[in-house]
Amino acid sequence: MDSILITGNGPLKGTTHASGAKNAALPILASSLLAEGTHTFRNVPALADVSTMLKVLTTMGAKSERLSGKKSSICEIEVGKKVTPEAPYELVKTMRASVLVLGPLVARWGRARVSMPGGCAIGARPIDQHLKGLAKLGAEIELHEGYVEARAKRLKGGTVAFDLITVTGTENVMMAASLAKGRTIIENAAREPEVEELARVLNKMGARISGAGTDVITIDGVEGLKPVDHAIIADRIEAGTLLCAAAITGGDVLVQHAVPEHLEAVLHKLREIGCKVTVEHDGIRLVGPARVSPADIKTREHPGFPTDMQAQLMAVLATASGTSVITENIFENRFMHVAELRRLGADITAEGNTAVVRGQAKLSGAPVMATDLRASASLVLAGLKAEGKTLVGRVYHLDRGYERLEKKLKALGANIRRVKG
Ligand code: EPZ
């Protein structure tokens, strides 16, 4: 298992870029099952989770090829007439977003057998809303030996009112409804930019979707969809993470391709703690202060402050000139980075879904352990600021959602390298 070794090395400076969005790429790759033919997806990030999704698709009989383009990696997926509509436990247990094949399989192939995703480090993460939504469209759902078995001759449109806001639940139902007979209305839909991006791709395939990005999405089912050529939007969470690297080190960094509208709550918070954030023609620039001020954070569904940026901002606030209170409202166990940040000298107390962060002028390097994707990013950020050496172990967590983060940070002046484990 690889580790990342960081030696605190002062302010980061320069220009970097955000790669394609992981949480847009995953549902978009799954949507290829909806249309026979060869899809071309551009700006596909080279991430472990993307490789897992491609493996799920090829296990079903699709063909995939990664062509490394000049600027970004291009991925071609060929879906034929025959597909084995099954997603095995071995794959789903490594990435719960594999459940995103459920909607497309039932809609186009009439049946699906997908392993129930287990929980993960940050929470139980059930998929009851996904199943309730598909059942509303007429799918017969059975749970059998740890697998979801779903069947439907032809899905029928209906109203799906989610009991709670779910990003992949909204995406699964939107994909299924694209080929259902009649109109589907999704109420209490997730409003994340990645949901909007998926709707853009589905409409390019010939779907008839409106309202994506709001809490009510209308889908008029069509008889068939066609393959698509699409470039995926930039990853707003990676962009936010790179901006936090500038904030915590008092640096001056431009993150190209970052879309300000996708990150408003995060940019607002970074300004609130004393960062100078400007929107440039090709991205977002952040100039960090010598020391950030404290601020309170409450994570919320989009357009609120994203839970996927909570751990990163906690690392920044661990060095603030006062006390901040962070409330995690989305996942029940997303403070695993607290114990590791404390090893670096942070003064943080977590109780339930609230963490009190008493800012420290100094952090000091130590060996720490990554526990989940965004926690590992938080530890890397703290290592950039900590005096001395920080060794972040189990960075396979990081590789799930960041395309060689250490290379991007090194290019900005960080003293950082991967240690092969
Ligand atoms: C997506 O996960 C993202 N993943 C997550 O990003 C992100 O943290 C999350 O949305 C919230 O923004 C992808 O898009 C691939 P949810 P998802 O369904 O869809 C509960 C990262 O770091 N819930 O919106 O799985 C659930 O337990 C990852 O990139 C149910 O109870 O999240 C959670 O508490 C981590 N029943 C809340 O809703 C359901 O059927 C939000 O979950 C579905 C969800």
The arithmetic mean of pLDDT across residues 59-72, rounded, is: 80
The pair of three-digit structure tokens given for residue 48, joined into one six-digit string:
């472990």
The confidence score (pLDDT) of residue 235 equals 98
The Cα-based distances of 300 to 29, 177, 340, 407 in angstroms read: 26, 26, 24, 31
Instruction: Using the atom order of ligand 1, give the atom closest to the CA of residue 23.
Output: 14
Distance 352 CA to ligand 1 centre (A): 19
Name beta bridge partners: 79.
Answer: 37
pLDDT for residue 401 is more than 60: yes
| pLDDT tier, 66 (very low <50, low <70, confident <90, very high otherwise) | confident
Distance of CA 238 to the CA centre of its chain: 9
Specify whether 75 is catalytic: no
128 contacts: CB under 8 Å, gap ≥ 6: none
252, 246 contact by CB (below 8 A): yes
Q: Is 374 in the pocket of ligand 1 (CB under 6 A)?
A: yes
Q: Is 14 in the pocket of ligand 1 (CB under 6 A)?
A: no
The confidence score (pLDDT) of residue 227 equals 98
112, 97 contact by CB (below 8 A): no
386, 345 contact by CB (below 8 A): yes
Distance of CA 349 to the CA centre of its chain: 26
Question: What percent of the chain stands above pLDDT 70?
Answer: 99
Question: What percent of the chain stands above pLDDT 90?
Answer: 94
pLDDT for residue 247 is more than 70: yes
pLDDT for residue 259 is more than 80: yes
Q: Compute the C-alpha angle 279/284/288, nearest 5°.
A: 105
The pair of three-digit structure tokens given for residue 392, joined into one six-digit string:
């972040």
Q: Which residue's CA lies nearest to atom 8 of ligand 1?
A: 308
Q: Is 307 in the pocket of ligand 1 (CB under 6 A)?
A: yes
The confidence score (pLDDT) of residue 69 equals 55
pLDDT for residue 228 is more than 60: yes
Q: Is 128 in the pocket of ligand 1 (CB under 6 A)?
A: yes
Distance CA 138, CA 357 (A): 48
Q: Where are the beta strands (DSSP E) in 27-126?
A: 37-42, 63-68, 73-79, 86-87, 111-115
The arithmetic mean of pLDDT across residues 197-219, rounded, is: 98
| pLDDT tier, 67 (very low <50, low <70, confident <90, very high otherwise) | confident
The confidence score (pLDDT) of residue 344 equals 98
| pLDDT tier, 72 (very low <50, low <70, confident <90, very high otherwise) | low
The confidence score (pLDDT) of residue 121 equals 81
In this structure, what DSSP letter does residue 154 have?
S
Beta-strand relationship, 111-115 and 86-87: parallel
Tokens 């995953």 — which residue?
26
Over residues 351-382, the pLDDT tens digits come to: 999 999 999 999 999 999 999 999 999 999 99
Distance CA 258, CA 237 (A): 9
Ligand 1 pocket mutation pick from 23, 53, 403 by most atoms within 8 angstroms of CB: 23
Over residues 297-325, the pLDDT tens digits come to: 999 999 999 999 999 999 999 999 999 99
In this structure, what DSSP letter does residue 258 have?
-
Convert 300-320 to b/e letters by CB count within 10 Å (16 or more is b): ebbeebbbbbbbbbbbbbbbb
In this structure, what DSSP letter does residue 393 have?
E
- In what order do the strands lie in the sheet containing 323-327? 297-298, 323-327, 354-358, 347-351
Over residues 140-173, the pLDDT tens digits come to: 999 999 999 999 999 999 999 999 999 999 999 9
Terminal-to-terminal C-alpha distance of the chain: 4
The confidence score (pLDDT) of residue 117 equals 87
